[in-house]
Amino acid sequence: MFLPISRLVIAIPMLLASLSSYQTVSASSPVERIALQFKGRCSAQQRDIRALPSTLPGVLAIDLSSVPGHALIDIDTGMLSPQDVIETVRRLGHDEDACLMEPMQSCISANPFGHVDHPSATHTSMEY
């Protein structure tokens, strides 16, 4: 059941420390949650991710406390895809930084068909 875990090494400049804010979305908007797992010292990256709702349209909310070591990112899939978020985060990074983040996939990934059609499982831009 365990899917291959794709790894994305990212580093995010410490420039986006402004307060996050909600974006409005209609009740019918399709909302999807992306879970990113942190490894290493990632406090700067967490601050940057926290700012995503104000910098990336379609990012609705960030939750950095519910699951330790993870960022839960809710997006409006009518405006952007999970891959868009991952690409954006990757573009913010510096190769020399040591924070490792990876989209969380495991045997409890919610999509019943797992890697077959889950958008975050398109690995073209990720390192393994």
Partner 1 sequence: MFIIRLYQGLVFAAGLATITSVTIPSTLALAKTHEVSMTAVETEVVIDGSGEKYAAWTFNGQMPGPVVRVTEGDTVKFTLTNPATNKYPHAMDFHAAEIDFLKNYRAINAGETIEYTFVAKKPGIFFYHCGAPPMIQHIARGMFGAIIVDPKNAKAWAKADREYVLIQSEHFKNPEDVQGMFDRKFDGIMFNGGIFKYHPFVSGGGKLDAKPGERVRIYFVNAGPNEFSAFHPIGEIWDNVYESGNPANKLTGVQTYVVGPGSAATFDVVVESAGAYPLVTHSLTGALRGAIAVLLASPDAKPQPLMPMVPWKVSVPQTEITPVPMQ
Q: Give the residues lining the site for partner 1 (CB under 8 A).
A: 1, 20-23, 25-27, 29-33, 35, 41, 43, 46-47, 50, 53, 60-68, 72, 74, 104, 107-112, 114
13 versus 30: smaller Cβ distance to partner 1? 30
67 versus 98: smaller Cβ distance to partner 1? 67
Minimum distance of partner 1 from residue 97's CB (angstroms): 15
Minimum distance of partner 1 from residue 51's CB (angstroms): 10
CA dihedral sign, ordered 50, 5, 93, 124: negative
46 versus 122: smaller Cβ distance to partner 1? 46
- 39 conformational bin, left if phi > 0, alpha if psi -120 to 50, beta if neither: beta
68 versus 124: smaller Cβ distance to partner 1? 68
Residue 111's CB is within 10 A of a number of other CB atoms, namely 13
Residue with tokens 């891959």: 83
Minimum distance of partner 1 from residue 20's CB (angstroms): 5
Task: Tell me how far apart the alpha carbons of residues 118 and 128 are, in angstroms, rounded to a whole number.
Answer: 18
Type and span of the H or E element at 31: strand 31-39
